[in-house]
Chains A and B, each alone.
Chain A
C-alpha cells in the first residue's frame, strides 16, 4: 500500500497519483483537508511501529503502508481551519493529526518521500549551504551581514552581487543595483544575505532514489523561476545530460542530506565550474516535467512501488 498525503489537486501530488493509478498500484489518498473525518493511532513496541490510519471511512493498517509521498501544506492555512481561534477544537484536531502522521513518517519503515527531519535543512540557506559544502559542492561566495560597509566591500570585490532571503521563505533573487545602495542602511536591523553573482546557466537536478533528471534553464533574469514577471524576461527549459562524475556527486548530496527525492539547484559557469545553490526537499517538479516531458512523476511512482533500489 502506498500513502499519498496532501492536497489531491496540487499538481506534484496529482501527477504521482495518476502515474500510480496507471501502474495499478494500491494507493491510499489522504486529502489533508478531510482531517475531521480521519483518524490515526500509533503504537511503538520494541522499536516496531504499528497502528491504523482511517481515511474516508476506511481503516488501513500502518504496517501495510510500504511507502509514502508527503506533500502536506501548513495545516494552519487549510480553508477548514483558517480564521479559527488557535484553541478551536477543529484546529487542534487538525494539528494533532498532522503531528502524529509526521511522527509516523519519521519512524516508519519503507520508502518515505521525504522524512520530516531530513526536510528541515532548507529552512536556513546558510545552514544548508554549509552541509552542501561538506558534501562536496562549491557554493557561491556569500556574505550575511547587517553592516553596510561590509556589503560595499563585498560588492567591490565580486562585482555583481545578488541578495535573497536567509530562511526558506520563498523570495525572488534580485541583483544589488546602484539604486539599492541608498537604502542599504536598512539592513542594520536584520542581517541580509548577499552572494557573488555566478554567471552561467542554471540546472535543476531532480533525484529520485538513484535516478536523476537534469533540466537546463536558460534565462535573461536573475531568477529564472520568475523571469516572466520581468519586462521581456524569459526562460527556456530543456533536458540536460550531466557528466557521470556530477551525477555521482548529486546522488551523494541528496542521500547525504537524507533525501530520497530532491531538487538540486546548480549553476554551471562558462569555464565548467559547478556551484550548488540549494537543495529543495519537496520539489515542485511538475513545472519541469510540463516543459521538458521528463518522466519525473513516473519515476517517483516507480520508486514508491519499489521498482528501483533504495
Chain B
C-alpha cells in the first residue's frame, strides 16, 4: 500500500549522540561479567602448558578435594567426540579432521588448549584448584614455521598432515600475461601474527531453570542465534529452550562471540550441575585462547606493460592457521586471495593459498580479515613497481584503478559463498580527493619540512577495496507500544560500535518518528530468533535494511489505522515526529501512541480478522555484498638510532555510500586506524622455539595507546550509494584498519628510501633499525 507520508529530514545523516552512551558513560552498562545469580559457581579452565604432546593422563584427585571445589571435568566426562564445527563453510573444504575438541582428549596442540575445567564456589578457589590438576604430557616437537610445516618431512600435528586446505582462486591467462610482460616485479611480504584483543575479555554465565528446563545465557555476542542453535544441537535441546540475552560487550572485532570450547563447557556444566555457572576469562588466558589472526607469507608478483599497467597478478600465500580450524574455517585465507586484486584493473589473476596448521593458538577473523594482509602485500608491490618503472606511487595507482565506467566489475571468483561483483564507485576520484585533502591538511609540506630538518620522514599511500553487507538475510521486528515507544528487535549485537543508534535513526526515518522514541534491542534470541549477527561490516547494511522495511511497514499500518481514526484518506496523511496528521490540517492528528492503543484487542478501529497490535517483521535478503573502498595516507618519522617509528599524520578517506551517522562512521574509521597502527608497528604474538607464547601479557603484547596514535583525519564521501540496498549504505566497520599495514609500510619505505620492500610487519624498532642499516628486501 502506498501512503503519502513523508520521510522526516534529519533522522538519517545526523551525527546524533549515541543512545548507548548514557548507560555506558555512567557505568550502567551490563557486560557478561556483571551478571550474578544466587548460588552461582565459577569455572576455571586448565590449559595445556606445552605446545604439542600426547596427553598420557590427567590427575584430578587433588583438585577435586581442594576447598570449595564442586567438580573437575576432563574430556572423559564429556559426551565423546565433541568438536566445534565450522560456522562458515566455503570452497567445499573438508575440515572435519582439523576441528578443535571441546577438551583435548589425547593430544594437545598449542599452549592454552583447554584440557580440563574446575568448578568451585568462588573464582579464587577455582584458580587455586586448577593448579592442582596434574597433567602428564609426553612432549612432541612443536611445529612453528608454516612454510616448513607444509613440507613432507615436517612433524605432523594430524594424521592427515599439517595442510588443512590448498586452493587457488583466479581468472584469465596469468601465464600469458607474465610471458608478454615488459616488466615483472616480485616481492615477499610477511604479516606478523596478531589479533583482535578486545579490552573486555570474554565472560559467560549460564543459568538453568529447573522448573522449565530453560537455559539463560549471558555474554554471547556477535552471532547469538547461530550460537544458540549450535549449543542446542550439541546439548540435544530444543533451541527455544535456550535464551541468549542481550548484553554489552567491550569490543568484538571478529574474535569475541564465535563459538569457543568455553561456550559449550559453561552451559553444559550449568545443566549438569543444575546450578548457575559463571566463567570470566582473564587477560593471560585471553591472549592464548581467543582467535589470533593475520599470520601469512605472501610471494606476490605482477606483470606490467611499458606504461605501468597491470597485465597479470599472482600471489602464493602460506597462511598460518594455528593448531585447529575453528568456526571461521578457511574464510580468512579465502578472503585474502579473493580480495587481493582490490580496486585495480587486473586482467588475469591467480591466488593460491595453503592453510597450514601449527602449534599455536588457532586463528580466526580480525577486523578486515584477509584485506589487511592482502592490501599490505599488493600495495607494497605497487610501491616497489613504481620505483622500478620510474613513475610516481600515485601514478601507478591511478593508471590501474578501475574507472567508474568499468563498474560493475565481475571477477570470476567467489568469497563467503557469494560472487565477487564490485558494485559501483569511482576509485580514481577518491584517490584524487584523498590527495587533495592531504594537501589541504599540509601533509606534503610536513614531509618537506622534516626532511629539510634532517629527519627520515616518509609519506605513505595505499588504496584498498573493502567488502560489507554480507547476507544472506537479516530479520527485524518493529513494535509500537501503548506509550508510543518504538521498539526495534534486531539480530545484530552491540559490540560498542553504536549499532543501536544507527538502527534507531533508520527506524525513525522510515516510521516518521523521532530517534529518541526508538529503543533498540540487539542480540536477544527470544526477541529476535532469526538474527544473523553483527560481523563482516554487515549490520548497518543488512540489519539496517531489514529495520527500514519493518519500520516502513509499521508506518503504512499506522497510517491505515490513523485514516480510520481521522476519517481521512491514508494518502492525505503525513507521519512526522511520532504524529500522523492530515496534510494541510495539522490540527487533525493522532499520535503513534494513540494509533498503537487503537490496535488493542476490541478496539473499534480494528476490523474483523485483523491482528491486534502495531508491529511488523520484515526480512532483508541480499545475494551480493557491497564493496566500499578507500585510501589511507600517513606521514611517519623514522629514528635511525632507535628504529622507532612515529606516526605523525594519518588520513582515512572512505566511500560509505550514505552515512547514517557521520560521527559514528568517523569513529569506526578512527578506531580501525588505531588498531591498524598496532598491527603494523607494535602488536605481535611471538613464540619461542618450543612454542611457548612470548606475548602473554600487555607488557609484551603491545597494543597502541593514545600516545602512539596521532589524531586521525577522516574524509567520508557519500558519492556512490550502494545499489544493492534501499538505504544506499555501505559498511563502515573495517575501512579504518584495512590499509593500515599497507600505508605504514609505504611510509616507512619512503622514509628510508628503500628500493625494495619492507619485507615484514610489524615494523618493530629492531626490524626498522636493520632496514635503515641494510636496506630492504627485493
Judge: A and B partners, yes or no: no
Binding site for B on A (CB under 8 A): none
